[in-house]
Homo-oligomer: A and B are copies of this chain.
């Protein structure tokens, strides 16, 4: 909390009013509802605004009007480029509608998310977009009490807080597993990110297991691995899985850039993909299409999740939409040479 150097340089509405020879109220109107002010006065006000270099104070405006044009966003990580696509989608829509974006990262911790959301509510944001769907009880109470609209993004939660825009991690993982089976792979392994604090990861694992069950295949713990994020991690996962007695003939890397790391490791080891082992990924990052071989993966609507979330939130704020809503944006399998 630090000093705002308003007084020396900052002109207030009344300064504009004086310069334009009207009342402050008229300046306010001229700025927000130009049509409700005579053209002549409007011109004088606009001139005065330029003359004194007036920058409206939205803190005062929001306090008085009990409205806000700031949306709060919490993502698990600011460094993950997958979230970046969603953030971009949100930002694009908000900008067009004249809203501002406050961002915080939760680091996959519900407690950190709670702190971020509290800070946002203190700033009286108009609405929240949350990528994680797991919240502390205190968070839920705070949000309920505040009454702000919320959009959740990460996956379709069992008990949505309010609105949801996502794809189904479970269905996506299931579809890819089926796809690999259809291609003839018999021993399909799954690598996920640590599921402890990651509902998305659990959903993917569940989808994988559901597919196996439907296919009448047994669960084999030797074919399931949790690894942290990263290229190196993908390489290591590959090594571990292939060292086993009955190695997989296909590996589904259901997270991040793990698959890319694995393909690069195959290059180093001189292993043919998919000859030695097939590799599938979970997200359509540019890299996967450019790798040798290009990697089969899922196209997820990352950017659209952002745009639709923002739209849904703004619709609610504008009273254009009533109740909770769940939007499942689906996904698509991209078959490439790696499987």
Q: Contact residues of A with B, CB < 8 Å?
A: 1-10, 53, 55-60, 62-63, 65-70, 77-81, 84-85, 87-88, 91, 95, 98, 100-105, 118-124, 126-127, 141-142, 144-148, 230-232, 235, 257, 260-261, 264, 267-268, 286-287, 290-292, 317-318
Contacts and interface: CB of A to CB of B under 8 A. Distances in A.
Contacts of A65: 1
Contacts of A105: 88, 91
Contact of A10 (B146, B291, B318): B146
A53 B145 contact: yes
Nearest to A121: B55
B69 A2 contact: yes
Contacts of A59: 59, 62-63, 68, 123-124
A13 to B, nearest CB: 12
Contacts of A124: 4, 6, 57-59
Contacts of A147: 5, 8-10
B57 A148 contact: no
A326 to B, nearest CB: 22
A103 B103 contact: yes
A6 B66 contact: yes
Copies in the complex: 2
A9 B100 contact: no
Given A7-B66, A79-B88, 8 more contacts: A2-B67, A2-B68, A55-B145, A59-B62, A78-B87, A81-B84, A230-B286, A267-B267
Given A78-B84, A104-B100, A123 B58 contact: yes
Contact of A4 (B66, B261, B291): B66
Given A9-B147, A101-B104, A318-B2, A63 B67 contact: no
A4 B84 contact: no
A337 to B, nearest CB: 12
A292 B318 contact: no
A147 B7 CA distance: 10
A292 B317 contact: no
B67 A1 contact: yes
Contacts of A286: 230-232, 257
Nearest to A115: B95
A78 B53 contact: no
A85 to B, nearest CB: 6
Contact of A60 (B63, B85, B142): B63
Contacts of A141: 53
Contacts of A231: 286-287, 290
Contacts of A232: 286, 290
Contacts of A235: 290
B4 A68 contact: yes
A257 B257 CA distance: 15
Nearest to A8: B147
A247 to B, nearest CB: 22
Contact of A146 (B5, B230, B264): B5
